[in-house]
């Protein structure tokens, strides 16, 4: 069993905007390419060109449809990676101490040298955020690109996780949730950021910003209309010319 730090100085994590995510998978692949040749062992792809390709990904996007009786169906794209929980069950379950949460910034990592690939942590994680690398036999997970965010060889503005840097729609934000003035704390407060499956008691650091209310064609125009209905002004095909003449005079 491995213990968690009592508290962490920082709580680094992601605020993911479900209102803006178009589900393009840019973050998924950028994560894959950065992490396959940096921290730890590569993220393998088994049967890569075959009948059942199966690779290791630290971040995946799921797509859900939301349908209620009152509203037209809505599609929500849901990117999912490790949420760097404060009460991370994947850490406490680890028999070798390979899984740990850093006291300085709260990042949950796996020390691959100590990982024996037993997979208990993946069972313990309620989010399914860990993936066993079949080729290497070690557990892989989001590192928040720990090898980018403190990396002096990278320009300062790029010291963010690869998924954040690449996101075309700007739906992913990185920062310190321990600091109430940070970008992610402010965003989360303004937009009602929520903890995923809070009832699990894992106390995740990452926050999801919920989709905003939408109008739809089922006739329930729930958003506030900025405009009154158009009044007939020109008198239709018949009266149009005299309206036009008057209107032109005003220009």
Partner 1 sequence: MSEEIRKTTCYMCACRCGINVHMQDGKVKYIEGNKDHPVNKGVLCAKGSAGIMQHYSPARLRAPMKRVGERGSGEFEEISWEEAFEIAIGWLAPLREKSPEKMAFFTGRDQSQSLTGWWAQAYGTPNYAAHGGFCSVNMATAGIYTMGGAFWEFGSPDWERTKLFMIFGVAEDHDSNPIKMGLGRLKERGAKIIGVNPVRSGYNAVADEWVGITPGTDGLFILALIHELLKAGKVDLNYLMRYTNAPFLVNGDENSPEYGLFLRDKQDKPVVLDRKTGKPVAFDKPGIRADMAGTHKVKGVTHRPGFQLLAEKYLTDEHSPEAVAERCGIEAKTIRRIAAELAHVAFEEEIVIKRPWTDWKGEKHEKMVGRPVSFHAMRGISAHSNGFQTCRALHVLQILLGSVEVPGGFRFKPTYPKPVEAHPKPHCKVTPGAPLDGPHLGYVRGPEDLCLSQSGEAARIDKAFTWENPMSAHGLMHMVISNAHAGDPYKIDTLFMYMANMSWNSSMNSSKVMEMLTDKDENGEYVIPRIIYSDAYSSEMVAFSDLILPDTTYLERHDCISLLDRPICEADALADAIRWPVVEPDRDVRCFQSVLIELGARLGLPGMVNEDGSAKYKDYADYIQNHERRPGVGPLAGFRGKDGKSSGRGEPNPNQIDAYIKNGGFWIEHIPEEAAFFKPWNSAYQDWAVERGLYDSPQPYVFQLYVEPLRKFQLAAEGHGKIQPPEHLRQQVKEAMEPLPVWWAPFEEDAVDTEEFPLHALTQRPAAMYHSWGSQNAWLRQIHGTNPLFVSGEIFSEHGFKEGDWAWLTSRHGKIKVPVVKMEALNAKTVWTWNAIGKRAGAWALDEKAPEAQKGFLLNHLISELLPPRENGMRWSNSDPITGQAAWFDLRVKIQRAEAGSGVSQPHMEPQKSPVPPAPQNVTYGEEFKK
Which two structure tokens, joined as six digits, stand for 218? 């089922």
Residue placing its CB nearer to partner 1 in the complex, 49 or 181: 49
Binding to partner 1 (CB under 8 A): which residues in 62-101? 65, 67, 72-77
What's the rounded Cα separation, in Å, for the pair 38 and 29?
14
Near partner 1 by CB under 8 A: residue from 135, 189, 197, 198: 135
- For 27, 164, 168, the CA distances from 154, given in Å and listed in that order, are 19, 15, 20
Does residue 247 touch partner 1 according to CB under 8 A? yes
Does residue 188 touch partner 1 according to CB under 8 A? no
Does residue 1 touch partner 1 according to CB under 8 A? no
Does residue 110 touch partner 1 according to CB under 8 A? no
Residue placing its CB nearer to partner 1 in the complex, 1 or 217: 217
Near partner 1 by CB under 8 A: residue from 69, 181, 199, 219: 219
Closest separation in Å from C-beta 144 to partner 1? 16
What's the rounded Cα separation, in Å, for the pair 216 and 123?
40
Binding to partner 1 (CB under 8 A): which residues in 136-155? 136, 147-148, 151, 153-154
Nearest to 177 by CA among 193, 164, 196: 193
What's the rounded Cα separation, in Å, for the pair 220 and 75?
17
| Residue 175 · residue 184 · CB < 8 Å | yes
Q: In the block, which residue shows the tokens 């101490």?
A: 97
């Amino acid at each position: 069993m491995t213990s968690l730090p009592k508290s962490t100085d920082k709580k680094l994590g992601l605020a993911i905007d479900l209102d803006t995510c178009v589900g393009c998978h840019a973050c998924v692949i950028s994560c894959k390419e950065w992490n396959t040749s940096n921290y730890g062992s590569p993220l393998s792809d088994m049967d890569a060109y075959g009948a059942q390709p199966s690779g290791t990904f630290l971040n995946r996007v799921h797509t859900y449809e939301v349908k209620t009786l009152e509203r037209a169906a809505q599609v929500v794209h849901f990117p999912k990676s490790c949420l760097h929980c404060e009460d991370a069950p994947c850490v406490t379950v680890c028999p070798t101490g390979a899984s740990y949460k850093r006291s300085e910034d709260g990042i949950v990592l796996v020390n691959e040298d100590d990982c024996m690939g037993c997979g208990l942590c993946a069972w313990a994680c309620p989010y399914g955020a860990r993936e066993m690398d079949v080729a290497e036999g070690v557990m892989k997970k989001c590192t928040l690109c720990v090898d980018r965010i403190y990396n002096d060889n990278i320009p300062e503005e790029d010291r963010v996780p690869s998924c954040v840097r690449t996101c075309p729609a700007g739906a992913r934000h990185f920062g310190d949730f321990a600091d109430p003035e940070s970008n992610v704390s402010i965003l989360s407060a303004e937009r009602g950021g929520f903890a995923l499956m809070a009832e699990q008691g894992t106390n995740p650091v990452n926050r999801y910003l919920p989709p905003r209310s939408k109008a739809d064609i089922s006739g329930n125009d729930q958003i506030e209309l900025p405009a009154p209905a158009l009044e007939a002004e020109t008198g239709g095909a018949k009266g149009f010319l005299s309206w036009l003449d008057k209107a032109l005079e005003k220009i």
